């Protein structure tokens, strides 16, 4: 059955530089977990540590409850898809797929059978006799994944396997990949710097920055309740509106002022904000619209620019005091560039962050 993987308090130093800083990640059997973060945040390093390609400075790797820190990749039973695919250039696709089995001295007939199986799964049956250099980027990626899934593995690691594909292919493949791994039920750790991949593919996301875990949880949970300003700005497109503001009270009712916005706060948020005066206000674009919400507050602004996405549009609002705010409209809302009037904020979706620690309140 599928395995568990636990990276326990992993730290990796290169000289004085700390690439991975006290990271703990727990992956349940069959779970598809995504490591996401900006370039250079230590994703590949963490993956290499999990695959025994790199030794952690401190911390341990536990697979199925067993400490595997001192074991090599083979003994850990890990499969991996590399960012550059790392296909063996001198071997044909057939030999590339069969290579992990050949190393394990699987009988020839069995290798042939499983190669065909994997080729069918990845739909690369017609490419079996080609060399990697005769393949397109998408085909190479399929071979690389095929090579990883051909043998039973405890955990499958994928390092940005989609980043070398063109945009259209990437969107298609990410759905296929998700289906494939759901069907196989392998425990998977997937690395990407693209938050939309993280959102769409994973059962759970781990957001990394500067080697530290910022937040982990189900994608929607992370989206709805980002743990800090970094996660709020990194996850979600368009970016969440983040406005510095002050806490105030309107006739005794708690409120927050940020530029042209003056929003009443729910009792819960007001309690969380406590005695602070400075605050960072976070509102997702879809919670700002020209039509009122159930519990909304409004400010006046002008539409400066409209980015049409087809099914919806991103509105760039400019307030009287010069502030910019992003909102979102469905496609038939009928407002356009130059429109000005009242804009509504969904008070139920307002987030507050501490202005110093940037943590969510």
Partner 1 sequence: MVADFARDDRKVAMLFLLPGVGALLVTYLVPLAYSLGLSFSEWDIRKPGAQWVLSGFGNYTDLLTSEGFWRAGLRSLIFTLAALPIELVLGTMIALLLTSEMVSSKLSALTRVLMLVPLMLPPVVLGILWRLLLNVNYGPVNSLLGLVGLGPFTWAAAPDTAMATIVLVEVIANTSVVSMILIGGLLSLPPEPIRAAEVDGAGPWRILFEIKLPQLASYYLIIVLIRVMDLLKTFDFIYALTGGGPGDSTSMLNLFIYRVGQRFLDYPMASAASWVFLVALLPLSIWLLIKAVASSKDYLND
Partner 2 sequence: MTDLALMSLRPAASRAGFRWRSLVGQAWRYGCLVVLLAVIVFPIYWLVLNSLKHQRDFFTGPPIYFTTDLTLSHWQEALGNPLNQKYLLNTAIVTAVSTVLATLAGTLCAYVLARIRLPFRLNRVLLISILIARLFPPVSLAIPYYLLMRQLGLLDTLPALVIAYTGLALPFVTWLMLTFFQDLPREIERAAMVDGCTMFQRFRWIVLPMSLSSMMVTAIFVFMGVWNELLYSLTLTSLSAKTIPVAIASFVGDNALAWGQMSALSIASFVPILLMALTVQRYLVRGITFGAVKG
- Judged by the rule CB under 6 A, the positions of this chain that interact with ligand ATP are 14, 17, 19, 39-45, 193
Mention every residue, 6+ apart, whose C-beta is less than 8 A from residue 15. Answer: none
Question: Which of ligand ATP, partner 2, Mg ion, none has residue 100 at its interface (CB below 5 to 8 Å by kind)?
Answer: partner 2
> Contact region for partner 1 (CB under 8 A) — 51-59, 283-291, 306-314, 319-327?
51-59
Of 24-53, binders to Mg ion (CB under 5 A) are: 44
* 74 scored as a contact of partner 2 (CB under 8 A): yes
Residue 135 lies near partner 2 (rule: CB under 8 A): no
Q: Which does 72 bind (CB under 5 to 8 A by kind): partner 1, Mg ion, ligand ATP, none?
A: partner 1
Q: Which is nearer to partner 1, 73 or 112 (CB)?
A: 73
Order of all β-strands in the sheet with 312-319: 288-289, 340-346, 296-308, 312-319, 324-330
| Positions in 58-87 near partner 1 (CB under 8 A) | 70, 72-73
Q: Which is nearer to ligand ATP, 12 or 178 (CB)?
A: 12
Distance CA 225, CA 205 (A): 13
Closest CA to 258 of 167, 179, 184, 351: 351
Contact residues for 42 (Cβ-Cβ < 8 A; gap 6+): 12, 19, 20, 21, 23, 208, 210, 211
**Closest CB to partner 2 among 44 and 296?**
44
By CB under 8 A, name the one of 28, 62, 86, 273 that touches partner 2. 86
Q: Which is nearer to ligand ATP, 4 or 141 (CB)?
A: 141
Query: Distance (Å, rounded) from C-alpha 198 to C-alpha 186?
Result: 17
Give the pairing type, strands 340-346 and 288-289.
antiparallel
- Return the number of the residue (35 or 240) whose C-beta is nearest partner 2: 35
Identify what 17 binds: ligand ATP, partner 2, partner 1, none; CB under 5 to 8 Å per kind: ligand ATP
Number of residues that make up the chain: 361
State how far the Cα of 157 lies from the Cα of 191, in Å rounded to an integer.
8
Cα 88 to Cα 85: distance, rounded to the nearest angstrom:
9
Q: Is 54 left (phi over 0), alpha (psi -120 to 50) or beta?
A: beta
Between CA 345 and CA 257 the distance in angstroms is 13
Q: Does 147 bind partner 2 (CB under 8 A)?
A: yes
Which of 72, 129, 249, 357 forms a contact with partner 2 (CB under 8 A)? 72
Residue 55 near which of partner 2, ligand ATP, partner 1, none (CB within 5-8 Å, type-dependent): partner 1
Name the β-bridge partners of 78: 155
Residue 10 token pair = 């992993």
List C-alpha distances in Å: 326 to 157, 195, 258, 283, 345. Answer: 36, 19, 14, 9, 11
The CA distance from 100 to 95, in Å, is 9
User: Does 63 engage in binding with partner 2 (CB under 8 A)?
Assistant: no
Report the nearest approach of partner 2 to the CB of residue 28 (Å): 22
Residue 55 in the binding site for partner 1 (CB under 8 A)? yes
53 counts as binding partner 1 under rule CB under 8 A: yes
* Site for partner 1 contains 88 (CB under 8 A): no
Q: Where does this chain touch partner 2 (CB under 8 A) — which range of 32-40, 85-93, 163-171, 179-187?
A: 85-93
Q: What is the DSSP letter of 238?
A: S
Q: How far is the CB of 219 from partner 1 (least distance, A)?
A: 33
Q: Is 324 helix (H, G, I), strand (E, B) or coil?
A: strand
* Residue 54 found at the interface with partner 1 (CB under 8 A): yes
Where does this chain bind partner 2 (CB under 8 A)? Answer: 48, 51-53, 72-74, 78-80, 82-84, 86-90, 99-100, 103-104, 147
């Amino acid at each position: 059955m599928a395995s568990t993987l636990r990276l326990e308090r992993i730290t990796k130093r290169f000289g004085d530089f700390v690439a991975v800083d006290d990271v703990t990640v727990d992956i349940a059997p069959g779970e598809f977990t995504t490591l996401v973060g900006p370039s250079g945040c230590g994703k590949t390093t963490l993956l290499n540590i999990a695959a025994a390609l790199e030794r952690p400075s401190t911390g341990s790797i536990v697979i199925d409850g067993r400490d595997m820190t001192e074991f090599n990749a083979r003994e850990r039973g890990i499969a991996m898809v590399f960012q550059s695919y790392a296909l063996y250039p001198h071997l044909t696709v057939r030999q590339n797929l069969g290579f992990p089995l050949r190393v394990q001295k699987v009988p020839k007939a069995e290798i042939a059978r499983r190669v065909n199986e994997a080729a069918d799964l990845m739909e690369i049956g017609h490419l079996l006799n080609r060399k990697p250099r005769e393949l397109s980027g998408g085909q190479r990626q399929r071979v690389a994944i095929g090579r990883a899934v051909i043998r039973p593995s405890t955990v499958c690691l994928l390092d940005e396997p989609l980043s070398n594909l063109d945009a259209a292919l990437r969107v298609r493949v990410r759905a296929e990949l998700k289906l494939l791994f759901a069907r196989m039920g392998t425990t998977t750790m997937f690395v990407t710097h693209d938050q939309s991949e993280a959102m769409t593919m994973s059962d759970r996301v781990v957001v990394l920055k500067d080697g530290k875990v910022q937040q982990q949880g189900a994608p929607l949970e992370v989206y709805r309740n980002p743990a800090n300003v970094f996660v709020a700005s990194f996850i979600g497109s368009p970016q969440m509106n983040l406005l510095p503001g002050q806490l105030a009270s309107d006739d005794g009712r708690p409120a927050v002022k940020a530029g042209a916005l003056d929003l009443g706060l729910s009792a819960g948020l007001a309690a969380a904000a406590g005695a602070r005066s400075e605050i960072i206000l976070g509102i997702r674009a879809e919670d700002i619209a020209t039509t009122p919400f159930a519990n909304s507050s409004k400010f006046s602004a002008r539409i400066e620019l409209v980015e049409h996405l087809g099914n919806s549009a991103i509105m760039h609002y400019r307030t009287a005091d010069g502030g910019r705010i992003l909102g979102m409209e469905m496609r038939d809302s009928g407002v356009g560039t130059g429109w000005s009037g009242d804009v509504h904020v969904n008070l139920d979706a307002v987030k507050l962050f501490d202005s110093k620690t940037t943590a969510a309140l």
